[in-house]
Chains A and B, each alone.
Chain A
Amino acid sequence: MNFLLINFFLISLLLVTTFFIFKTTSLISVVALTGAFTLLCSAIYVNLDAVDVAFTEAAVGSGISTILMVMAAAKLPEGKKNKLINLFPSIILAVAISLILIIIIANLPLLGDPNAPIHLHVVPEYLKESKDFFHIPNVVTNILASYRGFDTLGETIVIFTAGLGVIALLTSNTLNRKTNFKKNKKK
């Protein structure tokens, strides 16, 4: 019961943070609120017994991504008082999607049900055998590095590609658009 209460409290804090991110115009406070958001998420992960995920979220999501965003926000101008665009259609879309999600969630097994189909397939074997195979008590590490090592390799490739893209974008000075735009300005 305690678990559910804490979870409910954290999720309502998340909603409040999202609302303020939506409301604020100053870029640096948006960035700070995003850091708070991911930190709250890692608290939720601890509450849901996902310690490894909480570690990663706190280090990568809340640390590195906030640093990147601060670096970007320092170079950008202060956000203006934003007039909202597309307000009406997006409200309709948001309400429709939340309705669909609520219907889906009502059909899911209850939170923490040990007989839900997700817990019955490969996972019992992982939990039983992985210690004998790899001699590491942490099952998440076992799956990440051994059973699904190729996934992790793919992830590394994705990050490498993203890094290449970031470097290419930040170092290129000769985009066509820029030259066109500057020429037009002179005319």
Chain B
Amino acid sequence: MVGGLFIIITSQNYLKKVVGLAIFQTAVFVFFVSLAKVLDGTAPILTKMANAYSNPLPHVLILTAIVVGVATSALGLALVLQIYKNYETIEEKEIESLELKSDK
């Protein structure tokens, strides 16, 4: 998770920033699902054999969150493409220098 945050802040490339965001999210999902684990439990599908199930509630929340996360990264990618169309680069420093130039 911290790795993802690190990538977001340090990398100049905007596509890599979007990837860092996705990694950050996925790490949080793994944390949530690990809270739901019950030792000796099985997946929460009711059968006659099993007597302990892992907690289905975080699974539901994460199902929702995964799909929303993909929507977010799709939006981010669209933004990156639009930035590329306008500036012809996706490196942060280059865009900054272009902005400074156009202000003068």
Contacts and interface: CB of A to CB of B under 8 A. Distances in A.
Interface of A: 11, 15, 18-19, 21-22, 25, 27, 30-31, 34, 37-38, 41, 44-45, 48-53, 56-57, 60-61, 64-65, 68-69, 72-73, 75-77, 79-80, 82-87, 89-91, 93-94, 97-98, 101, 108, 111-114, 116, 118-119, 122-123, 126-127, 130-131, 137-140, 143-144, 148, 151-152, 155, 158-159, 162-163, 165-166, 169-170, 172, 175, 177-178, 180-181, 184
B12 A162 contact: no
A132 B7 CA distance: 48
Nearest to A73: B15
B59 to A, nearest CB: 5
A64 B70 CA distance: 8
Interface of B: 1-7, 9-13, 15-16, 18-20, 22-23, 26, 29-30, 33-39, 41-47, 52-60, 62-64, 66-75, 77-82, 84-87, 89-93, 98, 101-102
B73 A82 contact: no
A140 B71 contact: no
B59 A151 contact: no
Contacts of B62: 50, 53
A20 to B, nearest CB: 11
Nearest to B7: A22
Contacts of A131: 46
| Residue with the highest number of chain B CB atoms closer than 10 Å, among A108, A123, A130, A139 | A139
Given A56-B67, A85-B92, A184-B102, A118 B55 contact: yes
Nearest to B101: A184
Interface pairs A-B: 9 shortest CB-CB = A112-B39, A162-B71, A18-B3, A90-B9, A49-B54, A169-B78, A139-B44, A139-B56, A166-B78
Contacts of B75: 162, 165-166, 169
A80 to B, nearest CB: 6
A19 B71 contact: no
Contact of A93 (B9, B44, B68): B9
B63 A52 contact: yes
A112 to B, nearest CB: 3
Contacts of A61: 26, 66, 69-70
Contacts of A11: 30
A140 B78 contact: no
A143 B36 CA distance: 15
Contacts of A27: 13, 15-16
A65 B76 CA distance: 11
